[in-house]
Amino acid sequence: MCGIVGFTKKKYRSACCLEVLLNGLENLEYRGYDSAGIAVSDMEHQELKLCRAVGRISNLRRVVEEEKPEGSCGIGHTRWATHGKPSVENCHPHLAEKKTVAVVHNGIIENYQALKLQLQKEGVHFASQTDTEVVAQLLEKQYCGDMKKTLERVLPQLEGSFALAILDRNQPDTIYCARRRSPLLLAKGEDGAYLASDISALLDYTRDVWYIDEDSIAVLTPEEIMFWKDGEQQFPQSVHINWDSSAARKNGFDHFMLKEIFDQPTALRDTLNHYVDVEKGIIRRETMPFTMEQAKALKRLTIAACGTAYHAAVMGQSLLEQVAGVPAMAAVASEYRYSTMPPMEGEVFMAVSQSGETADTLAALTHKKAQGLRCLALSNVIGSTIAREADHVMYTLAGPEIAVASTKAYLTQVLLFEILALDLANLRGVLSDEELKVRIAELAQLPEQVEAILASKKTVEDFVQTQKNCHDIFFIGRLMDYASSLEAALKLKEISYLHSEAYAAGELKHGTIALVDESCLVVVTATQSVVLEKTLANMEEVRARGAELLLLGHFPVDHPHDCTVWNIPACSDQLAPILTTVYAQLFAYYMAKMHGCDIDKPRNLAKSVTVE
């Protein structure tokens, strides 16, 4: 989705403002966009200069090279069209009619039509179809000689969500910002002050950032950043992000997705070591969200999330129930945010979100918080909105995830559910300290087991070459294998655009089996011993309809199943779905590559979905 970057440079520093803006926008490309633009304050001519282009940042670079705008303070934006088609006119930044104000915006101004109509009645002419232009026009129209005061007057008129960065022609070294339900972070570096909607844009310059509070204003000059809320100046603490900027590069891999699949052993190790003392076989108490008393009082954990994070939640639901005996419910956040169910005594809510910014997940959390529930979050981004809104956060230590298709975030989310379930089981007295040690020792083997699967990527690649004509793929499994099948099917469809569906293996014959014929591939995941025979029987049902079969699990070399088998290393039933998922990720990746798809930036998708 849309991305914002801004920079105001100190005098006599060598940094080039245009380069900081363009580089920042390039680092935000992974979020998905269809056009991009920058605005700079040209001090000498006292004007705001715009450069905008449809398509890739390389197109914008060409426009910048041709027009050579000058300035040491500017804002930039990558746009993912919502109001108005991708075109230069609709591209951000937007200038107000008299060109005194330039604005970039993430989010949606829900009442923009009413505001636009009113401004048009007052004689204002609009140049675009966007909701954002309304903000620029309002700021110019209601300008009182002080942009901060003008913003304080304009912001209450806006309904919806926004992260705004604003240039005022009268203050050519200053950037004004404001936010409501859309992320924005600010930073000071040696060369000046920065802002961005996402830390990835700033990793080349700094690691210490400030988050702006909801409905607050920030003012950036080259030397300082000031924060204001309800007319009062605020002094928030900065947050240190210890991501390495090289973690946000491809490092020799063809795609970020493949690199991130290969990052998984490290991501699992880092996450595990943060929460668990593997040598002592204990969970680090201070990292966990429940005390013994709270664990015993827990009656239900409701988990809301979207997409892949929802699939991790489904996995979490099984783990919490099986391992800790805690009733749990995974819910799709876009539905659950409208749930009318009253909170239950002993219920705790959890939001799962890699980015920590997904609008529906945030709304579900806000809804539950308003009902008075204790709210936990599981996120990959330190200081993200969901992390800040929650009462307790468990961070996955996966590092920056750039590919739109989530891989390492998912695996570490499931790992955290494993750890949480073990901790709750131990605190509730259903798992002894000795048993916990054994389970931790199993967890500690996961990174190497994932490495072993990654080492067999050629097997996956070769199999994919036999599937050139396959256009319908079903993923079936039972219990936790059904949960991992959901994720396998999503991964494949989102990056290869092939039709794929996941079914609980026993459910297939209640309708969908009508679609199965010799043109289909059915991927059967069978790792759950309690239902193993039943899953294999379901496999025979699809074989009988002529489908080609691929079987994932642990099977002896001389297995009797007449189909391709991909084995995972020996492990418990609870950890097996993590390992089969690695095969599914590689399978999706090579299928998409064979079909020539834009793997890191699949069509119509955005990395962080910050609108409803």
Whole-number Å distance between alpha carbons of 84 and 35: 12
Measured from the CB atom, is 73 or 450 closer to ligand F6R? 450
Task: Name the residue number minimizing CB distance to ligand F6R.
Answer: 307
Measured from the CB atom, is 505 or 609 closer to ligand F6R? 609
What secondary structure does DSSP assign to 53-83, as a single string? EES-HHHHHHHHHHH----SEEEEEEE--SS
Whole-number Å distance between alpha carbons of 460 and 20: 40
Given 49, 188, 408, 607, the catalytic residue: 607
We find the least distance from the C-beta atom of residue 310 to ligand F6R, in angstroms, to be 7
Q: What angle do CA 526, 424, 442 make, to 5 degrees?
A: 45
We find the least distance from the C-beta atom of residue 183 to ligand F6R, in angstroms, to be 11
Give the dihedral sign, CA 221/224/229/230.
negative
Measured from the CB atom, is 227 or 410 closer to ligand F6R? 410
593 is catalytic: no
Edge-to-edge strand order for the sheet containing 520-526?
499-504, 472-477, 520-526, 548-553, 564-567
Whole-number Å distance between alpha carbons of 229 and 218: 9
- Among the listed residues 8, 78, 271, 353, the single contact to ligand F6R using CB under 6 A: 353
Measured from the CB atom, is 150 or 354 closer to ligand F6R? 354
Closest CA to 38 of 61, 56, 11: 61
Site for ligand F6R in 299-328 (CB under 6 A): 306-309
Measured from the CB atom, is 317 or 608 closer to ligand F6R? 608
We find the least distance from the C-beta atom of residue 450 to ligand F6R, in angstroms, to be 18
Measured from the CB atom, is 309 or 584 closer to ligand F6R? 309
Measured from the CB atom, is 272 or 309 closer to ligand F6R? 309
585 binds ligand F6R per the rule CB under 6 A: no
182 binds ligand F6R per the rule CB under 6 A: no
Measured from the CB atom, is 27 or 41 closer to ligand F6R? 27
330 binds ligand F6R per the rule CB under 6 A: no
We find the least distance from the C-beta atom of residue 172 to ligand F6R, in angstroms, to be 36
Binders of ligand F6R: how many residues, by CB under 6 A?
Answer: 15
Structure tokens at 367: 């809804």
Whole-number Å distance between alpha carbons of 146 and 362: 33
We find the least distance from the C-beta atom of residue 255 to ligand F6R, in angstroms, to be 14
We find the least distance from the C-beta atom of residue 593 to ligand F6R, in angstroms, to be 16
Amino acid at position 29, single letter: E
Strand boundaries in 449-599, DSSP class E: 472-477, 499-504, 520-526, 548-553, 564-567
- Among the listed residues 26, 494, 501, 548, the single contact to ligand F6R using CB under 6 A: 494
Give the burial class of 514: count Cβ atoms within 10 A of its Cβ; 0-12 exposed, 13-18 middle, 19 or more buried. Answer: exposed
Stretch that binds ligand F6R, among 112-120, 224-232, 265-273, 350-358 (CB under 6 A): 350-358
Q: State whether residue 536 is helix, strand or coil.
A: helix
Q: State whether residue 198 is helix, strand or coil.
A: coil
**Helix and strand numbers, DSSP H then E, in the chain:** 18, 27
- Among the listed residues 581, 608, 610, 611, the single contact to ligand F6R using CB under 6 A: 608
Stretch that binds ligand F6R, among 88-96, 320-328, 349-357, 587-595 (CB under 6 A): 349-357
361 binds ligand F6R per the rule CB under 6 A: yes
Measured from the CB atom, is 94 or 181 closer to ligand F6R? 181
609 binds ligand F6R per the rule CB under 6 A: yes
Whole-number Å distance between alpha carbons of 401 and 597: 19
- Among the listed residues 78, 161, 317, 358, the single contact to ligand F6R using CB under 6 A: 358
Whole-number Å distance between alpha carbons of 446 and 576: 10
- Among the listed residues 78, 271, 355, 574, the single contact to ligand F6R using CB under 6 A: 355
We find the least distance from the C-beta atom of residue 571 to ligand F6R, in angstroms, to be 24
Query: Is-contact 223 251, C-beta < 8 A?
Result: no
We find the least distance from the C-beta atom of residue 260 to ligand F6R, in angstroms, to be 11
Measured from the CB atom, is 191 or 198 closer to ligand F6R? 198
Closest CA to 380 of 364, 397, 358: 397
We find the least distance from the C-beta atom of residue 197 to ligand F6R, in angstroms, to be 13
Q: State whether residue 47 is helix, strand or coil.
A: strand
DSSP 8-state code for residue 473: E
Stretch that binds ligand F6R, among 227-235, 244-252, 348-356, 561-569 (CB under 6 A): 348-356
Given 2, 73, 177, 306, the catalytic residue: 2
Stretch that binds ligand F6R, among 8-16, 347-355, 446-454, 476-484 (CB under 6 A): 347-355
Stretch that binds ligand F6R, among 351-359, 366-374, 507-515, 565-573 (CB under 6 A): 351-359
Check residue 346 and give left, alpha or beta (phi > 0: left; psi -120 to 50: alpha). left
523 strand-pairing partners: 475, 550
The position carrying tokens 């398509």 is: 55
Return the exposure string of 595-608: e unless at least 16 CB atoms fall within 10 Å of the residue's CB, then b: eebebbbbeebbbb
We find the least distance from the C-beta atom of residue 432 to ligand F6R, in angstroms, to be 34
Whole-number Å distance between alpha carbons of 553 and 451: 16
Q: State whether residue 234 is helix, strand or coil.
A: strand
C-alpha 284, offset from chain centre: 27
607 is catalytic: yes
Q: Other C-beta atoms within 10 Å of 559: how many?
A: 13
Taking CB under 6 A as the rule, which mask of x and - marks residues 390-409 in contact with ligand F6R? Answer: ---------------xx---
Give, for 240, the enclosing helix (H) or strand (E). Answer: strand 239-240
Stretch that binds ligand F6R, among 253-261, 353-361, 504-512, 523-531 (CB under 6 A): 353-361
Give, for 445, the enclosing helix (H) or strand (E). Answer: helix 433-454
We find the least distance from the C-beta atom of residue 315 to ligand F6R, in angstroms, to be 13
Stretch that binds ligand F6R, among 137-145, 168-176, 355-363, 366-374 (CB under 6 A): 355-363
Residues marked active site are found at 2, 607
Q: Using CB under 6 A, list all residues that contact ligand F6R.
A: 306-309, 353-355, 358, 361, 405-406, 490, 494, 608-609
